[in-house]
Structure 1
Amino acid sequence: MGKNQHVTPRPGGGWQVKGAGNQQPTRITRTKQQAVKIARKISINQGSELFIHGRNGRIQSRDSHGNDSFPPKG
């Protein structure tokens, strides 16, 4: 399983994709939508979690692309 991916706002503007624990961003984009698209591809490829943060830095949503220990029934 790869590193969890985070989409976060950049202090100077724009958005970034960062792997959990990384000092440097993997990618920097102008829009949140672009960053989410890139991070989702990485997360799916690595079988990891995707955390999408809002402008305030708080987590807005998350997607699991790894082995889910509590898969939905049905």
Structure 2
Amino acid sequence: MAANVHVVPTERNGWAVEVEGTDGATSHYPSQEEAIAAGTEKAKRDKVELFIHDRHGKIRERNSFGHDPRDVKG
């Protein structure tokens, strides 16, 4: 089963895309926008959730790209 994807800040003012259950980042980007674009592509392809963290590491946004129930109201 595929693992969720996280966009997280790096120690050197960049951004990284990490996959749960792996050691370290799978890719690095100079801007959060670039990391979000790459993370979104991966999450869509793998049909998993994307977690976008702020500069302090707190989750600020969460997007699901698969396995959503169709009968949910709202």
Q: Which residue of structure 2 lines up, in the alignment, with residue 3 of structure 1?
A: 3
CA distance 1:29–1:63, change in 2 (3 Å): same
Moved more, 63-72 or 25-34: 63-72
How far is 1:69 from its partner?
A: 3.7
1:70 to partner: Cα distance = 6.8
- 2:36 is matched with 36
Shift >2 Å, 4+ stretches: 69-74
AA at the equivalent of 1:14: G
* 1:28 partner letter: H
Q: Secondary structure at the match of 1:26?
A: strand
Inter-CA distance 69–35: structure 2 relative to 1 (3 Å threshold): same
Asked if 1:52 corresponds to 2:56, the answer is no
Are positions 1:18 and 2:39 aligned together? no
Aligned to 2:63: 63
Segments of structure 2 that go 5 or more residues without pairing to the other structure are none
Unpaired stretches in structure 1, ≥5 consecutive residues: none
RMSD: 1.7
Q: 1:68 to 1:7 in 2, by over 3 A?
A: same
Q: What letter is aligned with 1:64? A: S
Measured in 2, the distance between the counterparts of 1:70 and 1:16 equals: 32
- Which amino acid letter does the alignment assign opposite residue 51 of structure 1? F
